[in-house]
Amino acid sequence: MNKNVVGWFEIPVTDMDRAIIFYQTVFDITLSRHLLGPLDMAWFPAAENGAGTSGSLVHNERAYKPSMDGVLIYFTAFSGDLSIELGKVENAGGKILLPKTKISDEVGYMALFSDSEGNRIALHSAK
C-alpha cells in the first residue's frame, strides 16, 4: 500500500495578512485563519477526498522564522501548467528564483520562487 508520509506542513510568515493575500492570489484559493493560543495560522484548503496533504501559514515570532534555506515544499500547479501560477508570483509580492524548468518527460516541470515572506517555495506540473 502506498502511503503519503507527509501529514502536515507549516510555512513561517512575518506578516500574516500579506502572506494570506500572496498565497490566495497565486493559487486562486481561500485560506481559513485560526488563532490557536500563541499561533496565528491560515490553513490551506484540504482535498475533499482526503488525498494529499494540507498545511498552514503560521506566525509566531519566537518559534517560526521565514527562510530561503532548509526544507523545500513543492506545490502542485492545479492549473496543469505551472507557468500560470508562476505568472502571478511577482505581482503578489514574491520573486521568481528559477523559471519553469523541465525535470524529465516522465516527471514534468518545476520552478522556484520566494514568497512575500522570504521563504523559498517550489511549483510542479506535468506540463
- Domains (range + CATH), the chain: 9-125 (3.10.180.10)
CB-CB contact of 100 with 82 (8 Å)? yes
* 13-51 tens-digit pLDDT: 999 999 999 999 999 999 999 999 999 999 999 877 666
* 74-88 tens-digit pLDDT: 999 999 999 999 999
Amino acid at 32: S
CB-CB contact of 124 with 78 (8 Å)? no
pTM metric for this prediction: 0.90
Q: How would you label 46-78 residue by residue, b for 16+ Cβ within 10 Å and e otherwise?
A: eeeeeeeeebbbbbbeeebebeeeeeeeebebe
Grid cell digits, residue 127: 506540463
DSSP one-letter code for 29: -
